């Protein structure tokens, strides 16, 4: 009977890392150069990050019991492979010390430590996401659930939204949450991608020099005030034009909700096109990251839910009385950033000041 669990395999990996670290710590350092001390530092950081993930990720899936005792085969296979690789990695240091610590340590081992550290972090994130997905089986709506990585960014946005925080502070918090969920990288020659550590899904911004990190600031003119985008939290309220019809009626929106959907909550940011260097409007990265769902089986691109439609309800005449109807533009999410932006521009675009009037900050 197989007694392997996520927790037991992570313990094996931790032991291998700890063995390698102890070997380096107690080795004779008289002849050490920068490469040897760098290797020691990298092993320390890898072990510290592994411990940090092991302590924090269980909180995302209702506790350590579910995370440590998980037996989902995909997670176990990921970790079995890493167990072997970490054991072989540690064996390099054992052999090196047995040979007296000469010749100088292999520089390639430092690169391998960094690679294994990254892969262990992502394997732990994926394991947590699978536990989270398994816990969502009671979702009877049939709507896709946000990826666990997306959920971390989404919760930060909701918290900042409720606190009516300073826009710059809010953006800093959102960017940090994105960094904890995954990484931005160049995708091909012209595009930028966010790759989620939890679901391995890609979000692609086409023809972009770098990822903009600041939303467009709204500067409404008193004579022509912009219509705000639909707020993240609306109860019964005015449905978007595309959802309205002769048989529907609506109640007034909460003024506080409209106030909170100010410039700090717009989905728009400015980017620089890679092809011609022109400034263009793009989806602010944390908005997309916070609302992506894991790719379908066999796919690699994440779909994106609309946060403005997601919790919006309107009233419609039923058989006997008015019925509260959930308005969702696309319940399965949008197929990539391009489709998501097209929907936002059609349904949730505030009036934006001239793009040439101000500059943007680029990551």
pLDDT at 239 over 50: no
| Distance (Å, whole) CA 356 – CA 143 | 40
Q: Is 119's pLDDT higher than 80?
A: yes
How many CB atoms are located within 10 Å of the residue 323 CB?
12
What value does the mean pLDDT of the chain take? 80
Of 363 and 88, which is predicted with more confidence?
88
For residue 288, give the nearest of 269, 261, 263 by alpha carbon: 269
DSSP character for 212? Answer: B
Terminal-residue alpha carbon distance, the chain? 50
Residue 51 pLDDT exceeds 60: yes
Quick one: DSSP state of residue 297? T
Q: CA 247, CA 59: separation in Å to the nearest integer? A: 46
SS3 295: coil
Q: Which residue has the higher pLDDT, 158 or 203?
A: 203
Checking if the pLDDT of 250 tops 70, the result is no
Q: Are 149 and 61 in contact (CB under 8 A)?
A: no
pLDDT value at residue 274: 93
pLDDT at 231 over 80: no
- Find out whether 130 and 76 touch, Cβ atoms under 8 Å: no
Q: Rounded CA gap, 323 and 349, in Å?
A: 28
In 182-306, where does DSSP find H-type helix?
Answer: 255-260, 285-289
What's the confidence (pLDDT) of residue 70?
95
Res 150: pLDDT = 96
CB-CB contact of 334 with 244 (8 Å): no
320-351 pLDDT, tens digit per residue, is 665 655 555 556 789 999 999 998 888 887 64
Higher confidence at residue 100 or residue 109? 109
Q: Return the axis-axis angle of helices 167-181 and 148-163, rounded to nearest 10°.
A: 170
Confidence of residue 160 (pLDDT cuts 50, 70, 90): confident
Residue 1 pLDDT grade (very low, low, confident, very high; cuts 50, 70, 90): low
Inform me whether the pLDDT recorded for 148 exceeds 60.
yes
317: which strand partners?
Answer: 322
């Amino acid at each position: 009977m197989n007694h392997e669990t996520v927790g037991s395999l992570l313990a094996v990996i931790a032991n291998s890392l700890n063995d390698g670290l102890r070997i380096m710590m107690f080795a004779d350092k008289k002849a050490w150069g920068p490469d040897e001390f760098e290797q020691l530092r990298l092993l320390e950081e890898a072990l510290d990050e592994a411990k940090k993930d092991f302590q924090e990720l269980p909180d995302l899936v209702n506790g350590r019991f579910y995370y440590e005792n998980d037996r989902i085969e995909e997670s176990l296979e990921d970790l079995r492979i890493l167990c072997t690789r970490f054991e072989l990695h540690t064996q390099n240091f054992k052999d090196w010390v047995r040979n007296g610590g000469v010749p100088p340590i292999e520089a390639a081992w430092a690169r391998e430590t960094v690679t294994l550290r990254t892969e262990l972090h992502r394997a732990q994130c994926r394991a947590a996401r699978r536990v989270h997905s398994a816990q969502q089986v009671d979702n009877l709506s049939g709507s896709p659930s946000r990826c666990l990585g997306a959920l971390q960014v989404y919760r930060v946005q909701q918290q900042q939204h409720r606190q009516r925080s300073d826009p710059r502070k809010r953006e800093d918090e959102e960017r940090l949450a994105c960094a904890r969920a995954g990484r931005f990288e160049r995708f091909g020659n012209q595009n930028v991608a966010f790759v989620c550590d939890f679901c391995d899904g890609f979000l692609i911004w086409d023809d972009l020099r770098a990822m903009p990190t600041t939303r467009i600031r709204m500067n409404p003119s008193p004579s022509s005030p912009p219509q705000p985008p639909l707020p993240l939290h609306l109860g019964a309220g005015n449905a978007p034009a595309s959802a309205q019809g002769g048989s529907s009626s609506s109640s007034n929106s909460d003024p506080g909700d409209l106030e909170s959907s100010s410039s700090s909550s717009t989905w728009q940011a400015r980017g620089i096109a890679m092809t011609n260097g022109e400034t263009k409007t793009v989806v602010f990265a944390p908005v997309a990251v916070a609302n992506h769902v894991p790719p379908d089986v066999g796919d690699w691109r994440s779909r994106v839910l609309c946060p403005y439609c997601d919790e919006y309800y309107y009233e419609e005449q039923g058989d006997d009385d008015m019925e509260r109807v959930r308005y969702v533009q696309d319940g399965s999410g949008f197929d990539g950033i391009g489709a998501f932006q097209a929907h936002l521009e059609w349904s949730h675009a505030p009036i934006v000041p001239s793009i040439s009037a101000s500059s943007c900050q680029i990551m």
